A and B are shown apart, each in its own frame.
Chain A
Amino acid sequence: MIAGVDLTKTFGRTVAVRGVDLNVQVGETVALLGPNGAGKTTLLRLLATLDKPSAGQLEIAGLDALRRPQQVRALLGLVAHQTYLHPELTAAEDLRFYGQLYGLDSLEERIGALLAKFGLTERGNMRVAALSRGQQQRLALARAVLHDPPLLLLDEPDTGLDAEGMGVLEGLLRAGGRTTVFSSHNRAWATALAGRTLTLMDGQLGGD
């Protein structure tokens, strides 16, 4: 699903990701571990095509991610540090907005099912701004899987989640059926959920 060769990303003189070779098979769940500043977020942003690598090649689902980023983006769901939610819209409106951009059929059914799956049914008509951080994170997860992407990229998805939210997230990670790459600071938790863990240190990848 993901084939990255010699991926490098520099910001000025700072090398955030340094010559990373990454292969993730279809259906695999991979955890990215490492301390703050190790390059986990930058690597996930490269995989999401939000940033272009300074050097290296990247293929996702057989598509050249550097030349065809828009087609790659249609195949992935991303939960980043920012939730990508609109504070003025209600939870259901925000999902509906993104669903319309993705051109999804049976959108109302999907929204209802996702709100139920992520424990937000009773919050569907509340504005995003009125939701707690944990509820916003759940809604961000729902937004990321709204279009049932075959590739899910999650940057510290456990941020702000309570026990119930963690249960939902773990259910999502264990469900299978899609390729998932997620980052975490919690090694024990990530190891229990991932089929494989990779550790980044100073932008360089080491296997586990």
Chain B
Amino acid sequence: MGNSVATDAHLVIPSEARNPLPATDSSPAARNDKAKRRFLLQLRALLWKDLVTEWRRREMLLSLIVFSLLVLLVFDFAFDLRRLDMPAAAPGILWVTFIFSGVLSFNRAFAVEKDRGTWEGLLLAPVDRGAIYLAKLLASLLFMTAVEAVTLVLFGAFFDVPADIPRLAAVVLAGTLGFAAVGILFAAMSANTRAREIFLPVLLFPVSVPVIIGSVKATALAFGSSEGEYPWLGLILAFDAIFLAVSFAVFEYVTEE
């Protein structure tokens, strides 16, 4: 069994090394550096865990891609997209698809942890709650971006809508960031409720209206719409900055009982 004294000696941690907070006798700059390094290491570990578990499960990404394609198909059946003025209709259709798949992704980010009980394991560890928020946000962004990329490629192939690709990519990334910044925060809140699948969109949609409107309008411009050149991308970026900062700051409070 290897239950020897020599083996156990590896497992003893000196009490001075046990405190998760930097020692108070070091300089403020050294404490700051140590805290930053610790934060980044925790963030890396959390992100690695989310990506590896999803890669090995292969549940969410494939399901989201299939779901997005089904939403596009429903729109096609409902409106016969080839007869519509596609540059005008495409932004709304695309963002409805992105938003629906995003909500599923946010819900899964916490539902899986809650259902298998690993969420409490995370809360018990002396890990910065901001690191948990950023890791969940980055993982969701990666999944959503992958789904959006596949959706856009297939949408372009099926409907042949001319677009300013770099501009479209910038708008989709910025809009997704803002939507996910709020979505991850509300998903953490709604994960504690019984009706989390309903609760999340009810909370999320009203708050994210500015970024959704901005994203649809900015996407229309990328598709060559002749509407006014209101700085929609600037509005989206401002929304991103504000809600990233607020969500990061308050995440600790929503994770406690």
Which partner residue on chain A sits nearest B46 by CB separation?
A: A101
**Size class of the contact patch on chain A:** 35 or more
CB within 8 Å of A: which B90-128 residues: 116-118, 120-127
| Bitwise interface map of A from 129 to 146 toward B, beta carbon under 8 Å scored 1, else 0 | 000000000000001010
| Minimum CB–CB distance for B205 against chain A, Å | 30
**Cβ-defined contact, B52 with A50, below 8 A:** no
Question: Cα distance A110–B52 when bound, in Å?
Answer: 22
Q: Which segment of B17-25, B147-155, B157-165, B218-226 sits at the interface?
A: B17-25
| A175 contact set on B, CB distance < 8 A | 8
**Cβ-defined contact, B12 with A148, below 8 A:** yes
**Cβ-defined contact, B13 with A71, below 8 A:** no
Contacts across chains A and B counted by CB atoms under 8 Å: 119
Knowing A71-B21, A100-B41, A168-B3 are in contact, say whether A88-B124 is a contact too (CB < 8 A). Answer: no
A181 interfacial by beta-carbon distance below 8 Å: no
**Cβ-defined contact, B11 with A148, below 8 A:** yes
B229 interfacial by beta-carbon distance below 8 Å: no
| B41 contact set on A, CB distance < 8 A | 100, 103
**Cβ-defined contact, B49 with A75, below 8 A:** no
Knowing A147-B18, A148-B18 are in contact, say whether A117-B1 is a contact too (CB < 8 A). Answer: yes
**Cβ-defined contact, B117 with A84, below 8 A:** yes
**Cβ-defined contact, A106 with B21, below 8 A:** no
Knowing A80-B117, A88-B52, A119-B1 are in contact, say whether A101-B7 is a contact too (CB < 8 A). Answer: no
**Cβ-defined contact, B11 with A74, below 8 A:** no
Question: Cα distance A51–B192 when bound, in Å?
Answer: 13
**Cβ-defined contact, B124 with A73, below 8 A:** yes
**Cβ-defined contact, B52 with A117, below 8 A:** no
| A110 contact set on B, CB distance < 8 A | 10-11
**Cβ-defined contact, B57 with A88, below 8 A:** yes
Knowing A103-B38, A110-B11 are in contact, say whether A88-B125 is a contact too (CB < 8 A). Answer: no
B145 interfacial by beta-carbon distance below 8 Å: no
Interface residues of A (CB under 8 A from B): 48, 50-52, 69-71, 73-76, 78, 80-89, 93, 97-98, 100-106, 109-110, 112-114, 116-117, 119, 121, 127, 143, 145, 147-148, 150, 164, 167-168, 171, 175
